[in-house]
Amino acid sequence: MRLLLIEDDKELCTALLIHFQNQGYETDVCHSGTDGLFYALQNVYDLMILDRMLPELDGLTLLSTLRRKGIQTPVILATAMDSLNDKINGLDCGADDYITKPFAPEELLARIRALARRPGNFFQEALISFGDLEFDPEKQELSSRGKTVSLSKKESALLEYLMKNKGNPVKRPLLLSYVWGSDAEVEEGNLDNYIYFLRRRLRSLKSRVQIRTIHGVGYCLADQPEA
């Protein structure tokens, strides 16, 4: 599961990250509303934890903006504002759940699990298809023409992001952020290496799907018609 944590309390972020890592959750962290909006619009997340009182752009305005733009990623509002009207306003703006500070990290994890159990949620793992490819994110398996190969964790993340963009070009910085994390110090050559690995996987499956290089931009998937 990939999370976006938008919270200006850096000590709280550090504490939560330990718990998220123990659960195997990949997490990007932002400390202002404007940064949070940028990450939420540019990346694909399974769930967001959003502080209501943020510098530059408050949480409710951020959330309302995302919903207006059609982004339905589940959101848990985390805030010290605990009146009934505060909760109603948060839920009416599009939040899926509301947790009041201070809270135990275990309670937040339980709320994340509860959202994951809801039928039809975005982050319930499902097969992703493109061209003659079928990808199972949970098993990290890629299939085509009756053959299946297992992918590494980073190969899976890279392919998933490309497939979810349905053949549209994806910029290199977005791929680097999604696969390695927004704060990771990683050389851009690592991305090219994993693109090479994925291309070998596609050739081994004899898939007609190709990974095209968009010079000066990044990469995209292309469904190449057979001759």
What is the H or E stretch that residue 158 is in?
helix 153-164
Q: Dump pLDDT digits (tens) for 207-221.
A: 999 999 999 899 999
- Is the same domain home to 6 and 110? yes
**Euclidean distance between CA atoms 142 and 136, whole angstroms:** 6
**Final residue of a structural domain among 97, 117, 137:** 117
81 token code pair: 């504002």
Whether residues 51 and 94 fall in one domain: yes
pLDDT given at position 15: 93
User: Is 122 a domain residue?
Assistant: no
Instruction: Give the domain extent around 14.
Output: 2-117
Residue 148 half-sphere exposure, CB side, CA atoms within 13 Å? Answer: 7
Residue 55, in any domain of the structure: yes
- Is 151 among the domain residues? yes
Q: CATH no. for residue 7?
A: 3.40.50.2300
Is residue 115 helix, strand or coil?
Answer: helix
Helix or strand run (H / E) with residue 219: strand 218-223
Structure confidence at residue 180 (pLDDT): 80
Are 213 and 206 in contact by the 8 Å Cβ rule? The answer is no
For residue 197, what is the domain's CATH number?
Answer: 1.10.10.10
The angle formed by the CA atoms of residues 157, 163 and 168, to the nearest 5 degrees, is 120
The CA distance from 127 to 217, in Å, is 28
In the chain, the number of structural domains is 2
Distance (Å, whole) CA 210 – CA 205: 11
pTM score of the predicted model: 0.59
Query: What tens digit of pLDDT does each residue of 77-113 get?
Result: 998 887 888 888 888 888 999 999 999 999 999 999 8
Residue at which a domain ends, from 68, 83, 117: 117
Instruction: Give yes or no: residues 192 and 162 share one domain.
Output: yes
Contacts of 93 by beta carbon, 8 Å cutoff, 6+ apart: 60, 63, 64, 67
- Residue 123, domain member (yes or no): no
